[in-house]
Structure 1
Amino acid sequence: MPTISAHARAPKQGRSRQSFERILEGTIDLLRERPYDQITLAEICERCEVSTGSLYGRVAGKDELLRAVQVRFLERLAGQFSAEAARIAAEARGLRQVVPAVVASLGNLLKDNASVLRSFMLRSAADPAIEVAGKQSALENHAKFIALLTACSKEIRHTQPERAIDTSMLLIYATQARFLGLDSVGGQGDASEWNALLQDLSDMMLAFLLFTPPKR
């Protein structure tokens, strides 16, 4: 993953570092409220109680700020994925427990962070740096859950366990992201529909992993 310094000039003094920290955290807070294209740099500065001069001393403009904010946010998200993976490893036993735990954890991490992730995904179409960092983050985070499923390989009946796991994770992520509207404004459905979706995805993934495809 790139570092914040790849997109922003590193503050040298303690007060400047604190100001830039407030800018990063304040921008993340604003992204939880509405899309980045509806947020102005002036608003960010007002929210964070910093001058526009202080902001421009760190980044060249709004696009560069979003790249730096993405780095900070994805670092935090990686920690959340690691914590969830460790929890599942400690609590779940066997494929029938690991699968629903993975599906629920992936979905709820996406749901809890949907508003922020949405801004990154929408911007990625026009910003290669945002796109590359987002894809790398997803691969690294999903690998933590894939490792949990791989540890249950002896229970998987599919003739190509690795392929079956990868395909399942891809379909689950795509379905959850679509439901949450990560590639558009807003999401779909209410809490009851979300919980039903997680259950259905768990059942489908488990059925696929326990399915033995016919020889072709």
Structure 2
Amino acid sequence: MPPLSAHARAPKQGRSRLSFERIIEGTIDLLRERAYDQITLADICERSEVSTGSLYGRVAGKDELLRVVQVRFLERLAEQFTDEAARIEREATGLAQVVPAVVRSLGNLLRENASVLRSFMLRGPTDAAINTAGKKSADENHAKFIRLLKACANEIRHPQPDRAIDSGLLLVYATQARFLGLDSFGGKGEDADWHDLLDDLSDMMLAFLLFTPPKR
């Protein structure tokens, strides 16, 4: 992940650093409430209790600020993935436990952070920096869960276990992301539907890893 200084003029004085932190945290709070294109710099300054001049002293505008916010947010998300992977490694044993644990953890992390991630994903196609950082973050975070699945490779019956794990997790992620509406504003289902979806995805991925396809 690039440093914050890659997208902003880093403050040097203590008071300025605190103001900039408030700007970042205020923006994250607002992104949890509404879409990026519904937030103005005036909204951010009001929430952060800083002047417009202070904000422009650090970033050139709203798009540059979003890149800064993404860096900070993805750093925290990486810590969440690391903690969840460590928890699963401690608590789950064997493929039958690891698969649903991974599916649920991935889904719940996405759901918890969906409102903020949605703004990055919608901005990504027109912002190369956000797109690159987002893909790098996803690859690194998913790798933490893939490692847990590969530790159960001796139980996998698919003749290409690495490929099966990668494909399976990709489909799980894509389905969860679509349900949560990460490509648009707002979620796509109710709580009961979400829990059913996680159960179904866990069953399907486990079945796929234990499946022996016919020889072609």
- TM-score interval, normalised by the smaller of the two chains: over 0.9
Distance 1:131 1:103 in 2: 24
Distance 2:174 2:3 in 1: 27
Q: Give the match for residue 98 of structure 1.
A: 98
Amino acid in structure 1 at the alignment position of 2:68: A
Alignment of 1:1-216 (within 5 A): 1-216=1-216
Secondary structure in structure 1 of the residue aligned to 2:33: coil
Distance 1:175 1:133 in 2: 22
Runs of 4+ in 1 over 6 A off after TM superposition: none
Distance 1:74 1:19 in 2: 20
Cα-Cα RMSD? 0.4
Secondary structure in structure 2 of the residue aligned to 1:125: helix
Q: CA deviation at 1:185?
A: 1.2
Q: CA deviation at 1:48?
A: 0.6
Q: CA deviation at 1:86?
A: 0.2
Deviations 1:82-140 (A, max 9, x none): 00000000000000000000000000000000000000000111101110000000000
TM-score, normalised by the number of residues in structure 1: 0.99
Q: CA deviation at 1:159?
A: 0.1
Amino acid in structure 1 at the alignment position of 2:132: V
Q: CA deviation at 1:188?
A: 1.0
Q: CA deviation at 1:178?
A: 0.1
Deviations 1:120-175 (A, max 9, x none): 00011110111000000000000000000000000000000000000001000000
Distance 2:5 2:175 in 1: 34
Distance 1:52 1:99 in 2: 48
Q: CA deviation at 1:215?
A: 1.2
Amino acid in structure 2 at the alignment position of 1:103: V
Deviates more, 1:182-191 or 1:101-110: 182-191
Distance 2:187 2:45 in 1: 29
Deviates more, 1:180-189 or 1:97-106: 180-189
Distance 1:17 1:93 in 2: 45
Give unpaired runs (5+ residues) of structure 1: none
Give unpaired runs (5+ residues) of structure 2: none
Distance 1:187 1:179 in 2: 7
TM-score, normalised by the number of residues in structure 2: 0.99
Q: CA deviation at 1:187?
A: 1.5
Amino acid in structure 1 at the alignment position of 2:51: S
Count of residue pairs the alignment pairs up: 216
Distance 1:47 1:63 in 2: 18
Amino acid in structure 1 at the alignment position of 2:140: E
Amino acid in structure 1 at the alignment position of 2:209: L
Amino acid in structure 1 at the alignment position of 2:58: R
Amino acid in structure 2 at the alignment position of 1:174: A
Q: Percent identity?
A: 79
